[in-house]
Amino acid sequence: MEFALSSSSPSLSLSRNSIPSNSCNRLFRPTSSSSNFAQSKLFSLKKPLISRQNCSIKAQSSTNGAINASEDQNDDFILEDVPHLTDFLTDLPSYPNPLKKSQAYAIVKRTFVSSEDAVAQKIVVQKDSPRGLHFRRAGPREKAQEVRSCVVTCGGLCPGINTVIREIVCGLNNMYGVDEVLGIQGGYRGFYSKNTIQLTPKSVNDIHKRGGTFLQTSRGGHDTNKIVDNIQDRGINQVYIIGGDGTQKGAAAIYKEVEKRGLKVAVAGIPKTIDNDIAVIDKSFGFDTAVEEAQRAINAAHVEVESVQNGIGIVKLMGRYSGFIAMHATLASRDVDCCLIPESPFYLEGQGGLFEFVEERLKENGHMVIVLAEGAGQEYVAQTLHADDKKDASGNRLLLDVGLWLTQKIKDHFTNIRKMDVNMKYIDPTYMIRAIPSNASDNIYCTLLAQSAVHGAMAGYTGFTVGPVNSRHAYIPISRVTETQNIVKLTDRMWARLLASTNQPSFLSCEVVQERVNKQIFDDIHNMKITST
Ligand SMILES: Nc1ncnc2c1ncn2[C@@H]1O[C@H](COP(=O)(O)OP(=O)(O)O)[C@@H](O)[C@H]1O
Ligand SMILES: O=P(O)(O)OC[C@H]1O[C@](O)(COP(=O)(O)O)[C@@H](O)[C@@H]1O
Ligand SMILES: [Mg+2]
C-alpha cells in the first residue's frame, strides 16, 4: 500500500527544475502531453543519463513546440521522458521501496533501475549516426503513501488481457503489499455507470486460463470529466488502463484532466490490440497467439482444398488497417499462395491481376489458399455494395465483409467467364482467434507489461504507456504511441520476404493501383478513424 516515488532521483529533479548554464550533455525532451513543465523547452542534463564525452548538442523547436535534434548531432542523446507526479505535486512524499525486502527481489543483483537507464528507439545505427531518441527504462525505483488502484479494459478483445489484469493485481499485492485494487467493469463507461468489483490475488488467480476480459469491455462512452470525477470520488490514485490506440488516447485525456485538477493519481497505459498496429512498441501482446491460432484455420483451408478439384480456400483474419496477422500467418504457414492486406492494393482482372494468378495456381497445383486481412480491398467492396461509411461507438469504421465479397467475385469469374468449376471454401475464424487465452510466450510478455506498469506507477510516473522497445521495456509518453498507427510497410524487407515466399504478384505494376498507392490508400489508413468519440 506504499507508493514508491522516484522523485528524489538526481537527474530527474535537476532536469525538471533547472536548466544548468554550463551543461552540455543531453537533450531532454519532456513529453508534449506533459503541459505543466515547460512543454517546449530544451532540458540538458548536467548529470548525464549515460556518461559520454565530447558531446555537442544542437536543437531546434519543431512546429508543435517539441524539441528536435538537428541533423548534424553525432553525439546527441534525446530522452523523451514521461511525466512524473512531482511535476505538478511538488511536495509529494517518498518512502523506501519495499521491494528490496521482498522475497522475490532480495537476492537480485540490481533491484532498482537506475534513473540513468534509457532504452534506444533505434537499434540499427551507423558509425556516424546520431544517438537519437530514448525512452526511460521500465522497472522498480529506489524510493513509497497509501495506494488505491483500479484496472479497466477497453476496446476489442485480445488473447492475454486476463493475464495482464491478474499480474497487475498480484504484482501490486506481492511486490508492494497493495490490497486495494478495484476492477472497473465494462470499459470506460464503467467508471460512471457500474459498480466496481474488488480484485484480489485470489479472485484473479486463474483468469489467465480464460480468453476475453474478466472485467468486460466496451467501445465508446469515454467521458473524461465523469471518469475523473469518479476517480476522485472513489479516492483512487493509480489507474491501469488496458487497451488499444483509442483507449490510450482516452488515457491521455484522463491524465491531462488529472494533472489540470492537480490530483495525485498515476495513469498507466498497457497497450493492447490483436492487430499489432500500436506505434513504437515492438509488438502487442496476443499477437503471437493470434498468428499461431490462425495456422489452424489456414491448415483447415489447405486440407479442404487439397482434397477436391480446383479447390480455392479463403481465410479471413483480423487487421482493420494493418495486415500484420495476415502477413505473419502467411509467412509461418507455407500453405498460403496469396496474402492480401489493407496496405497493399490489389486488383482482380487483367494481366497481373488476382484472377490470373488464381488460374495459374489452379493449373499448377490443383488448389490454392488465399489469406485475407479484413481491412483489405475495402474500397472495392464499398464500390460494389454501394455501402455508406458506418462507424462503431468508438469511431472506428465498420468494415464490409471482404471475404464474402472476394469469394463471390472469384466464383462468378470462373463460372461465368472462364467456364471452370471451382470449389470455394471460405473460413472466417476472426472472433475464434481473438477469444482464446494467450499462449506461453504471450503470457510471459503480459506479466512483464503488468509488472513494469506497476513499478512505473509505484515510482510516481504517470501519463505513460509501457512496452518493449527493441526488447527492453520502457515508459513511453502516451502521445508517442497514439500519434501514428503501425502499418505493414510495403517498402520494408518483411513484405518482400512474404512476396518471395508466396511468389504472388505484387499487384503494383497496374497503373490504377499505382495511382491509389500514391493518393488514396495511405490517406485512408490514416483518416479512417475519427479522433473524438
Ligand atoms: N480520441 C479518443 N479520445 C478519448 N477516448 C477515446 C478516443 N478514441 C477512442 N476512445 C475510447 O477508447 C475506448 C476504446 O477505443 P476503441 O477504438 O474501441 O478500441 P482500442 O482502444 O482497442 O483502439 C472507447 O471507450 C472509446 O470511447
Ligand atoms: O467487432 P468488434 O468487437 O468491434 O471488433 C472488431 C475489430 O476489432 C479488432 O480486433 C481491433 O480491435 P481494437 O480496436 O481493440 O484494436 C479489429 O481487428 C476488428 O476489426
Ligand atoms: Mg483501435
| Candidate from 76-90, 163-177, 178-192 with smallest mean pLDDT | 76-90
**Which ligand gives the minimal distance to the CA of 249?**
1
Pocket test for ligand 1, best of 193, 215, 222 (most atoms within 8 A of CB): 222
- Position 383 scores a pLDDT of 82
Q: Take atom 11 of ligand 2 and give the residue whose Cα is closest.
A: 156
Q: Which phi and psi (to 5°) does residue 322 adopt?
A: -135, 145
Mean pLDDT within 111-123: 92
Helix (H) or strand (E) holding 497: helix 493-502
Closest residue by Cα to atom 20, ligand 1, is 244
| Distance, CA of 263 to CA of 242 (rounded, Å) | 21
Q: Residue 104: what pLDDT?
A: 83
Q: Per-residue confidence at 513, pLDDT binned at 50, 70, 90?
A: low
Atom of ligand 1 nearest to the CA of 224: 4
Q: What is the pLDDT of residue 511?
A: 59
CA of residue 324 to ligand 2 center, whole Å: 14
> How many CB atoms neighbour CB 343 within 10 A?
22
Percent of the chain at pLDDT > 70 equals: 81
pTM of this prediction exceeds 0.90: no
Cα of first residue to Cα of last residue in the chain, in angstroms, is 35
Ligand 2 surroundings by CB, under 6 angstroms: 155-156, 244, 273-275, 318-320, 374, 392, 396, 399, 434
**Catalytic entry in 76, 87, 275, 335:** 275
Q: Is the pLDDT of residue 71 over 60?
A: no
- Name the phi and psi angles at 281, rounded to 5: -75, 155
Lowest mean pLDDT: which of 73-77, 313-317, 333-337, 355-359?
A: 73-77
Please check if 353 is assigned to a binding site: no
The pLDDT score that the predictor gives to residue 151 is: 98
494 is in an annotated binding site: no
Render pLDDT for 211-234 as a digit per residue (tens, 0 to 9). Answer: 999 999 999 999 999 999 999 999
Categorize the per-residue pLDDT at 178 as very low, low, confident or very high, splitting at 50, 70 and 90. Answer: very high
d(C-alpha 466, C-alpha 477), whole Å? 9
Q: Lowest-confidence range among 12-16, 105-109, 253-257?
A: 12-16
The per-residue pLDDT for range 46-55, each reduced to its tens digit, is 333 433 222 3
Alpha-carbon Rg for the chain in angstroms: 25
Specify the range with the lowest mean pLDDT, choosing from 112-116, 147-151, 230-234.
112-116
The pLDDT-based confidence of 517 (bands split at 50, 70, 90) is low
220 is an annotated ligand-binding site residue: yes
Q: How far apart are CA 531 and CA 92, in angstroms?
A: 34
Which DSSP symbol is given to 161?
H
pLDDT for 92 = 85
User: Is 275 among the catalytic positions?
Assistant: yes
Quote the pLDDT of residue 63: 31
Residue 107, pLDDT score: 84
The ligand with the least distance to the CA atom of 250 is: 1
For ligand 1, is residue 255 a contact (CB within 6 Å)?
no
Q: Is 318 annotated as a binding residue?
A: yes
286 is in an annotated binding site: no
| Integer angstrom CA distances of residue 31 from 67, 90, 154, 459 | 10, 18, 24, 18
Predicted local distance difference test score (pLDDT) of residue 447: 98
Tell me what pLDDT residue 519 has: 56
Q: Which ligand is nearest to the CA of 270?
A: 1
Atom in ligand 1 nearest the alpha carbon of residue 189 = 25
- What are the pLDDT digits (tens) for 259-276? 999 999 999 999 999 999
CB of 154 sitting under 6 A from ligand 1:
yes
Q: pLDDT tens-digit profile of 351-407?
A: 999 999 999 999 999 999 999 999 999 988 988 777 778 899 999 999 999 999 999
Strands 149-153 and 181-183, how do they pair?
Answer: parallel
**Going by CA atoms, what residue is nearest to atom 2 of ligand 2?**
156
Looking at the CA of residue 253, tell me the nearest atom of ligand 1. Answer: 4
* pLDDT confidence of residue 510: 53
What is the strand order of the sheet 311-317 is part of?
338-340, 367-373, 311-317, 423-427
Residue 84 β-bridge partners: 461
Strands 77-81, 132-137: pairing kind: parallel
CA distance 328 to 322: 12
**132, 122 in Cβ contact below 8 A?**
yes
Whether ipTM > 0.85 holds is yes
Mean pLDDT of 345-352: 92
pLDDT band at 106 (very low <50, low <70, confident <90, very high): confident
Q: Please state, in angstroms and rounded to a whole number, the distance separating the CA atoms of residues 311 and 369.
A: 8
pLDDT at 156: 97
Question: Which pLDDT does position 135 carry in this prediction?
Answer: 97
Closest atom of ligand 2 to CA, residue 155? 15
